[in-house]
A = this chain, B = another copy of it.
Amino acid sequence: MYPVITISREFGSGGHSIGKQVAKKLGVPFLDGEIVNQTAVESGYCKELIEEQGETATSANRWFDISAASTMYFQSPQDEIFLAQRKVILEAAKKGPCVIVGRCSDYILRRADIPCINVLIHSDMENRKVRILERYGDIKDVDVEKRIKKKDKQRRTYYRYYTDQHWGDYSNYDLSLDSGTLGEDVCVDMICELAERKSK
Protein backbone atom coordinates (compact mmCIF):
# COMPACT_ATOMS: atom_id res chain seq x y z
CA MET A 1 0.00 0.00 0.00
CA TYR A 2 1.29 3.45 -0.87
CA PRO A 3 1.94 5.89 1.96
CA VAL A 4 0.01 9.16 2.19
CA ILE A 5 1.84 11.90 0.29
CA THR A 6 1.74 15.53 1.40
CA ILE A 7 2.87 18.28 -0.94
CA SER A 8 3.98 21.64 0.43
CA ARG A 9 4.71 24.16 -2.29
CA GLU A 10 5.83 27.66 -3.07
CA PHE A 11 3.15 29.62 -4.93
CA GLY A 12 3.64 29.18 -8.67
CA SER A 13 6.02 26.22 -8.34
CA GLY A 14 3.52 23.78 -9.86
CA GLY A 15 3.13 21.78 -6.65
CA HIS A 16 -0.64 21.54 -7.06
CA SER A 17 -0.36 20.22 -10.61
CA ILE A 18 2.44 17.81 -9.61
CA GLY A 19 0.32 16.48 -6.73
CA LYS A 20 -2.64 15.95 -9.07
CA GLN A 21 -0.51 14.01 -11.56
CA VAL A 22 1.07 11.90 -8.79
CA ALA A 23 -2.39 10.96 -7.49
CA LYS A 24 -3.57 10.07 -11.01
CA LYS A 25 -0.48 7.98 -11.74
CA LEU A 26 -0.73 6.07 -8.44
CA GLY A 27 -4.51 5.78 -8.70
CA VAL A 28 -5.15 7.34 -5.28
CA PRO A 29 -7.45 10.25 -4.27
CA PHE A 30 -6.17 13.81 -4.74
CA LEU A 31 -7.50 15.81 -1.83
CA ASP A 32 -8.05 19.46 -2.49
CA GLY A 33 -11.66 20.54 -3.16
CA GLU A 34 -12.87 17.56 -1.14
CA ILE A 35 -11.07 18.88 1.96
CA VAL A 36 -12.89 22.19 1.54
CA ASN A 37 -16.27 20.42 1.20
CA GLN A 38 -15.69 18.23 4.23
CA THR A 39 -14.35 21.11 6.31
CA ALA A 40 -17.49 23.09 5.46
CA VAL A 41 -19.64 20.24 6.80
CA GLU A 42 -17.43 19.81 9.86
CA SER A 43 -17.15 23.48 10.81
CA GLY A 44 -20.42 24.93 9.58
CA TYR A 45 -18.59 27.71 7.71
CA CYS A 46 -19.24 28.30 4.00
CA LYS A 47 -16.85 26.95 1.35
CA GLU A 48 -15.81 30.42 0.18
CA LEU A 49 -14.56 31.36 3.66
CA ILE A 50 -12.73 28.04 4.01
CA GLU A 51 -11.06 28.51 0.62
CA GLU A 52 -10.01 32.00 1.67
CA GLN A 53 -8.99 31.24 5.27
CA GLY A 54 -7.99 27.57 5.02
CA GLU A 55 -4.35 28.25 4.25
CA THR A 56 -3.63 31.92 4.66
CA ALA A 57 -3.12 33.78 7.89
CA THR A 58 -4.20 37.38 8.32
CA SER A 59 -3.63 39.89 11.07
CA ALA A 60 -6.99 38.70 12.46
CA ASN A 61 -5.15 35.71 13.95
CA ARG A 62 -3.05 37.97 16.06
CA TRP A 63 -6.01 40.04 17.19
CA PHE A 64 -7.94 36.98 18.29
CA ASP A 65 -4.84 35.61 19.96
CA ILE A 66 -4.36 38.69 22.09
CA SER A 67 -8.04 38.73 22.86
CA ALA A 68 -7.93 35.10 23.96
CA ALA A 69 -4.90 35.62 26.15
CA SER A 70 -6.29 38.66 27.90
CA THR A 71 -9.85 37.50 28.51
CA MET A 72 -10.76 33.85 28.16
CA TYR A 73 -10.32 30.82 25.94
CA PHE A 74 -11.63 31.91 22.58
CA GLN A 75 -11.36 30.43 19.08
CA SER A 76 -11.36 32.65 16.01
CA PRO A 77 -13.29 31.47 12.93
CA GLN A 78 -9.92 30.68 11.39
CA ASP A 79 -8.93 28.55 14.38
CA GLU A 80 -12.22 26.67 14.07
CA ILE A 81 -11.60 26.16 10.36
CA PHE A 82 -8.05 24.93 11.08
CA LEU A 83 -9.29 22.41 13.65
CA ALA A 84 -12.08 21.15 11.38
CA GLN A 85 -9.66 20.91 8.46
CA ARG A 86 -7.15 19.07 10.64
CA LYS A 87 -9.84 16.53 11.57
CA VAL A 88 -10.78 16.05 7.89
CA ILE A 89 -7.10 15.56 6.91
CA LEU A 90 -6.51 13.00 9.69
CA GLU A 91 -9.66 11.05 8.81
CA ALA A 92 -8.78 11.03 5.10
CA ALA A 93 -5.20 9.87 5.79
CA LYS A 94 -6.42 7.09 8.08
CA LYS A 95 -8.73 5.80 5.31
CA GLY A 96 -5.79 5.03 3.02
CA PRO A 97 -3.27 6.34 0.49
CA CYS A 98 -3.94 9.81 -0.94
CA VAL A 99 -2.19 13.01 -1.97
CA ILE A 100 -2.86 16.12 0.15
CA VAL A 101 -1.66 19.57 -0.88
CA GLY A 102 -0.68 22.21 1.70
CA ARG A 103 -2.79 23.05 4.76
CA CYS A 104 0.00 22.08 7.23
CA SER A 105 -0.78 18.46 6.32
CA ASP A 106 2.89 17.45 6.69
CA TYR A 107 2.92 18.71 10.28
CA ILE A 108 -0.54 17.32 11.11
CA LEU A 109 0.30 13.78 9.90
CA ARG A 110 3.79 13.74 11.42
CA ARG A 111 2.40 14.72 14.81
CA ALA A 112 -0.19 11.95 14.53
CA ASP A 113 2.50 9.39 13.59
CA ILE A 114 0.75 8.52 10.35
CA PRO A 115 3.27 7.09 7.84
CA CYS A 116 3.66 9.55 5.01
CA ILE A 117 6.07 11.03 2.49
CA ASN A 118 6.41 14.78 2.98
CA VAL A 119 7.42 16.58 -0.20
CA LEU A 120 8.35 20.22 -0.77
CA ILE A 121 8.13 21.68 -4.29
CA HIS A 122 10.00 24.93 -4.92
CA SER A 123 11.29 26.92 -7.86
CA ASP A 124 13.08 30.19 -8.52
CA MET A 125 11.14 33.42 -9.04
CA GLU A 126 11.61 33.52 -12.83
CA ASN A 127 10.15 30.05 -13.37
CA ARG A 128 7.29 30.81 -11.03
CA LYS A 129 6.50 34.06 -12.83
CA VAL A 130 6.31 32.24 -16.16
CA ARG A 131 3.93 29.67 -14.69
CA ILE A 132 1.67 32.27 -13.08
CA LEU A 133 1.58 34.32 -16.30
CA GLU A 134 0.55 31.20 -18.23
CA ARG A 135 -2.14 30.50 -15.67
CA TYR A 136 -3.61 33.94 -15.11
CA GLY A 137 -2.79 35.50 -18.47
CA ASP A 138 -3.19 39.25 -18.63
CA ILE A 139 -1.31 40.42 -15.56
CA LYS A 140 1.63 42.86 -15.35
CA ASP A 141 5.10 41.45 -14.69
CA VAL A 142 5.58 43.54 -11.54
CA ASP A 143 2.19 42.46 -10.23
CA VAL A 144 3.03 38.77 -10.72
CA GLU A 145 6.07 39.04 -8.46
CA LYS A 146 4.06 40.94 -5.86
CA ARG A 147 1.31 38.32 -5.95
CA ILE A 148 3.80 35.46 -5.56
CA LYS A 149 5.55 37.11 -2.62
CA LYS A 150 2.26 37.95 -0.91
CA LYS A 151 0.89 34.43 -1.30
CA ASP A 152 4.13 32.85 -0.02
CA LYS A 153 4.10 35.20 2.96
CA GLN A 154 0.50 34.32 3.79
CA ARG A 155 1.25 30.59 3.65
CA ARG A 156 4.41 30.99 5.72
CA THR A 157 2.53 33.00 8.34
CA TYR A 158 -0.30 30.45 8.44
CA TYR A 159 2.16 27.58 8.85
CA ARG A 160 4.11 29.43 11.51
CA TYR A 161 0.96 30.33 13.43
CA TYR A 162 -0.47 26.81 13.56
CA THR A 163 2.70 24.72 13.80
CA ASP A 164 5.16 27.09 15.53
CA GLN A 165 7.68 25.95 12.93
CA HIS A 166 9.39 27.67 10.05
CA TRP A 167 7.75 26.89 6.69
CA GLY A 168 10.27 25.57 4.18
CA ASP A 169 12.72 24.20 6.75
CA TYR A 170 14.20 21.28 4.77
CA SER A 171 14.28 19.06 7.83
CA ASN A 172 10.47 18.83 7.72
CA TYR A 173 10.53 17.08 4.33
CA ASP A 174 11.66 13.66 3.15
CA LEU A 175 12.12 15.03 -0.33
CA SER A 176 12.46 18.59 -1.66
CA LEU A 177 12.45 19.19 -5.40
CA ASP A 178 13.18 22.20 -7.59
CA SER A 179 10.44 21.98 -10.24
CA GLY A 180 12.13 24.74 -12.25
CA THR A 181 15.45 22.95 -12.81
CA LEU A 182 14.05 19.39 -12.83
CA GLY A 183 10.80 19.92 -14.70
CA GLU A 184 7.31 18.91 -13.65
CA ASP A 185 7.42 15.41 -15.22
CA VAL A 186 10.66 14.48 -13.43
CA CYS A 187 9.17 15.62 -10.10
CA VAL A 188 6.06 13.49 -10.70
CA ASP A 189 8.17 10.43 -11.60
CA MET A 190 10.50 10.82 -8.62
CA ILE A 191 7.62 11.10 -6.12
CA CYS A 192 5.82 8.12 -7.67
CA GLU A 193 8.98 6.00 -7.67
CA LEU A 194 9.56 6.84 -4.01
CA ALA A 195 5.95 5.89 -3.20
CA GLU A 196 6.47 2.58 -5.03
CA ARG A 197 9.63 1.90 -3.02
CA LYS A 198 7.93 2.77 0.28
CA SER A 199 4.96 0.53 -0.52
CA LYS A 200 7.16 -2.60 -0.66
Contact = CB atoms under 8 A, between A and B. Distances in A.
Interface of A: 120, 122, 124, 168, 170-171, 173-178, 181-182, 186, 189-190, 193-194, 197
A174 B182 contact: yes
A148 B99 CA distance: 35
Contacts of A174: 177-178, 181-182
B170 A170 contact: yes
5 contacts: A120-B170, A122-B171, A170-B176, A186-B194, A193-B193
A173 B176 contact: yes
A171 B120 contact: no
The 8 tightest CB contacts between A and B, nearest first, are A176-B176, A174-B178, A170-B170, A174-B181, A170-B176, A122-B170, A174-B182, A122-B171
Contacts of A181: 174
A111 to B, nearest CB: 15
A49 to B, nearest CB: 32
A197 B189 CA distance: 11
A186 B176 contact: no
A92 B138 CA distance: 46
Contacts of A178: 171, 173-175
A193 B189 CA distance: 10
A186 B197 contact: yes
Nearest to A185: B197
A120 B168 CA distance: 14
A179 to B, nearest CB: 10
A147 to B, nearest CB: 19
Given A186-B197, A190-B194, 19 more contacts: A120-B176, A124-B171, A168-B170, A173-B176, A173-B178, A174-B177, A174-B181, A175-B175, A175-B176, A175-B177, A175-B178, A176-B176, A176-B177, A182-B194, A186-B194, A189-B197, A190-B190, A190-B193, A193-B193
